[in-house]
Protein backbone atom coordinates (compact mmCIF):
# COMPACT_ATOMS: atom_id res chain seq x y z
CA UNK A 1 0.00 0.00 0.00
CA UNK A 2 1.27 3.45 -0.93
CA UNK A 3 2.32 5.83 1.82
CA UNK A 4 -0.28 8.57 2.39
CA UNK A 5 0.78 12.12 3.16
CA UNK A 6 -1.27 15.26 3.57
CA UNK A 7 -1.37 17.93 0.89
CA UNK A 8 0.29 20.36 3.32
CA UNK A 9 3.20 17.95 3.94
CA UNK A 10 3.59 17.40 0.20
CA UNK A 11 3.64 21.16 -0.51
CA UNK A 12 6.10 21.76 2.34
CA UNK A 13 8.38 19.11 0.85
CA UNK A 14 8.18 20.63 -2.62
CA UNK A 15 8.91 24.11 -1.25
CA UNK A 16 11.88 22.78 0.75
CA UNK A 17 13.31 21.12 -2.35
CA UNK A 18 12.78 24.26 -4.44
CA UNK A 19 14.47 26.43 -1.82
CA UNK A 20 17.34 23.97 -1.57
CA UNK A 21 17.88 23.98 -5.32
CA UNK A 22 17.51 27.76 -5.49
CA UNK A 23 19.99 28.25 -2.64
CA UNK A 24 22.66 25.94 -4.01
CA UNK A 25 22.37 26.20 -7.77
CA UNK A 26 20.81 29.53 -8.72
CA UNK A 27 21.23 32.28 -6.15
CA UNK A 28 20.62 34.91 -8.81
CA UNK A 29 17.23 33.54 -9.91
CA UNK A 30 14.19 35.79 -9.67
CA UNK A 31 10.53 35.15 -10.37
CA UNK A 32 9.41 37.10 -13.43
CA UNK A 33 5.86 38.48 -13.23
CA UNK A 34 3.78 40.95 -15.19
CA UNK A 35 2.04 43.68 -13.19
CA UNK A 36 0.09 46.46 -14.85
CA UNK A 37 1.78 46.07 -18.23
CA UNK A 38 5.33 46.04 -16.82
CA UNK A 39 7.78 43.23 -16.17
CA UNK A 40 8.89 42.77 -12.58
CA UNK A 41 11.41 40.53 -10.82
CA UNK A 42 10.59 39.15 -7.37
CA UNK A 43 13.08 37.43 -5.11
CA UNK A 44 12.05 33.78 -4.69
CA UNK A 45 12.58 33.94 -0.95
CA UNK A 46 9.94 36.69 -0.64
CA UNK A 47 7.17 34.45 -1.99
CA UNK A 48 5.71 31.59 0.03
CA UNK A 49 3.42 30.26 -2.69
CA UNK A 50 2.04 30.98 -6.16
CA UNK A 51 -1.48 29.87 -7.03
CA UNK A 52 -4.37 30.47 -9.43
CA UNK A 53 -6.90 33.06 -8.32
CA UNK A 54 -9.23 31.73 -5.63
CA UNK A 55 -12.63 33.17 -4.81
CA UNK A 56 -12.12 36.58 -3.23
CA UNK A 57 -14.73 38.03 -0.88
CA UNK A 58 -14.94 41.80 -1.11
CA UNK A 59 -14.73 43.96 1.98
CA UNK A 60 -16.63 47.26 2.38
CA UNK A 61 -14.98 50.65 2.97
CA UNK A 62 -11.52 49.74 1.69
CA UNK A 63 -9.12 51.24 -0.83
CA UNK A 64 -9.96 50.41 -4.47
CA UNK A 65 -6.77 48.35 -4.83
CA UNK A 66 -7.65 46.12 -1.86
CA UNK A 67 -9.67 43.30 -3.40
CA UNK A 68 -10.75 41.54 -0.21
CA UNK A 69 -9.98 38.30 1.54
CA UNK A 70 -9.55 34.75 0.31
CA UNK A 71 -9.79 31.46 2.19
CA UNK A 72 -6.56 29.55 1.56
CA UNK A 73 -6.67 26.15 3.25
CA UNK A 74 -8.64 27.54 6.19
CA UNK A 75 -6.66 30.77 6.59
CA UNK A 76 -8.08 34.17 5.66
CA UNK A 77 -5.58 36.03 3.52
CA UNK A 78 -5.78 39.69 2.50
CA UNK A 79 -5.58 40.20 -1.27
CA UNK A 80 -4.25 43.36 -2.90
CA UNK A 81 -4.15 44.26 -6.59
CA UNK A 82 -0.57 45.45 -7.12
CA UNK A 83 -1.33 47.02 -10.50
CA UNK A 84 -4.08 49.18 -8.99
CA UNK A 85 -1.90 50.01 -5.97
CA UNK A 86 0.86 51.20 -8.31
CA UNK A 87 -1.61 53.28 -10.30
CA UNK A 88 -1.47 51.11 -13.41
CA UNK A 89 -5.17 50.16 -13.53
CA UNK A 90 -7.05 47.20 -12.14
CA UNK A 91 -6.09 43.61 -12.82
CA UNK A 92 -8.46 41.74 -15.07
CA UNK A 93 -9.16 38.26 -13.74
CA UNK A 94 -7.87 36.15 -16.63
CA UNK A 95 -6.86 32.50 -16.48
CA UNK A 96 -3.21 33.65 -16.53
CA UNK A 97 -3.58 35.84 -13.40
CA UNK A 98 -1.93 34.52 -10.26
CA UNK A 99 -1.92 35.13 -6.54
CA UNK A 100 1.47 35.49 -4.83
CA UNK A 101 1.31 34.63 -1.14
CA UNK A 102 3.99 36.76 0.50
CA UNK A 103 6.42 35.16 2.92
CA UNK A 104 5.29 35.48 6.53
CA UNK A 105 8.57 37.09 7.61
CA UNK A 106 7.42 40.23 5.75
CA UNK A 107 3.71 40.31 6.50
CA UNK A 108 1.31 37.65 7.76
CA UNK A 109 -1.55 36.32 5.64
CA UNK A 110 -1.04 38.71 2.73
CA UNK A 111 -1.19 38.01 -0.99
CA UNK A 112 -0.88 40.16 -4.08
CA UNK A 113 -2.41 39.73 -7.51
CA UNK A 114 -0.24 39.71 -10.64
CA UNK A 115 -1.31 39.64 -14.29
CA UNK A 116 0.75 36.59 -15.17
CA UNK A 117 3.85 34.56 -14.42
CA UNK A 118 6.79 34.98 -16.78
CA UNK A 119 9.07 32.30 -15.39
CA UNK A 120 12.46 32.35 -13.72
CA UNK A 121 14.95 35.01 -14.76
CA UNK A 122 18.62 34.97 -13.85
CA UNK A 123 20.33 38.24 -13.04
CA UNK A 124 23.46 36.96 -14.80
CA UNK A 125 21.48 36.99 -18.07
CA UNK A 126 20.37 40.62 -17.60
CA UNK A 127 22.26 43.87 -17.94
CA UNK A 128 21.73 46.83 -15.60
CA UNK A 129 19.58 49.53 -17.14
CA UNK A 130 20.90 53.01 -16.50
CA UNK A 131 20.01 55.43 -15.06
CA UNK A 132 18.84 53.50 -12.03
CA UNK A 133 16.00 55.70 -10.85
CA UNK A 134 13.60 54.44 -8.22
CA UNK A 135 10.04 55.54 -8.84
CA UNK A 136 8.92 54.32 -5.39
CA UNK A 137 10.27 52.85 -2.18
CA UNK A 138 9.45 49.30 -3.32
CA UNK A 139 11.00 49.66 -6.77
CA UNK A 140 14.46 48.19 -7.00
CA UNK A 141 17.09 48.06 -9.71
CA UNK A 142 16.26 48.08 -13.42
CA UNK A 143 17.54 45.58 -15.98
CA UNK A 144 17.27 44.72 -19.67
CA UNK A 145 17.35 41.23 -21.11
CA UNK A 146 19.02 40.16 -24.36
CA UNK A 147 15.86 41.06 -26.33
CA UNK A 148 15.88 44.60 -24.89
CA UNK A 149 12.89 44.02 -22.60
CA UNK A 150 12.88 46.12 -19.41
CA UNK A 151 12.62 44.50 -15.97
CA UNK A 152 12.26 46.18 -12.56
CA UNK A 153 12.94 44.54 -9.20
CA UNK A 154 10.04 44.55 -6.76
CA UNK A 155 11.23 44.92 -3.17
CA UNK A 156 8.61 43.00 -1.19
CA UNK A 157 10.24 43.87 2.13
CA UNK A 158 9.99 47.61 1.38
CA UNK A 159 6.42 47.23 0.07
CA UNK A 160 5.29 45.39 3.20
CA UNK A 161 6.25 48.29 5.49
CA UNK A 162 4.79 51.11 3.41
CA UNK A 163 2.03 52.90 5.34
CA UNK A 164 0.05 53.33 2.10
CA UNK A 165 0.10 49.55 1.53
CA UNK A 166 -0.76 48.73 5.13
CA UNK A 167 -3.66 51.19 5.31
CA UNK A 168 -6.32 49.29 3.36
CA UNK A 169 -9.30 51.10 4.86
CA UNK A 170 -10.65 54.31 3.41
CA UNK A 171 -9.79 57.27 5.57
Count of structural domains, the chain: 1
Residue 146 lies in a domain: no
Give the model's pLDDT for residue 111.
Answer: 93
Report how far Cα 77 is from the mean position of its chain's Cα atoms. 14
Task: Name the 3-class secondary structure at 167.
Answer: coil
- Across 21-37, average pLDDT: 75
Residue 116 lies in a domain: yes
Query: What would the pLDDT profile of 110-168 be if each residue is shown by its tens digit?
Result: 999 999 999 899 988 888 887 655 567 778 888 999 998 999 999 989 888 988 888 88
Residue 132 lies in a domain: no
CATH of the domain at 99: 2.40.50.180
Query: What would the pLDDT profile of 60-103 be if each residue is shown by its tens digit?
Result: 998 999 999 999 988 999 999 998 888 877 777 788 889 999 99
Residue 85 lies in a domain: yes
Place 28 in a pLDDT band, splitting at 50, 70 and 90: confident
Sign of the alpha-carbon torsion through 62, 66, 71, 77: negative
Task: Find all residues with CB under 8 Å of 107, minimum gap 6, and list them.
Answer: 160
Global pTM reads 0.77
Give the model's pLDDT for residue 22.
Answer: 55
Rounded distance between C-alpha atoms, residue 167 and residue 81, angstroms: 14
Using an 8 Å Cβ cutoff, are 57 and 75 in contact? no
Give the model's pLDDT for residue 129.
Answer: 82
DSSP bridge partners of 30 = 43, 121
Tell me which H or E stretch contains 26: none
Tell me which H or E stretch contains 139: strand 139-144
Residue 135 lies in a domain: no
- Domain of residue 98 covers 7-122+158-166
Residue 171 lies in a domain: no
Residue 149 lies in a domain: no
- Rg of the chain on CA atoms, in Å: 17
Amino acid sequence: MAKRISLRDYQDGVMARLKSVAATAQVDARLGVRIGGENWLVDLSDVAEVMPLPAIASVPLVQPWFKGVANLRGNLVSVSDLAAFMGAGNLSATPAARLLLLHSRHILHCAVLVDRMLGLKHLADLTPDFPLTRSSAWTGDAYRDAAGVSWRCLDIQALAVQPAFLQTGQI
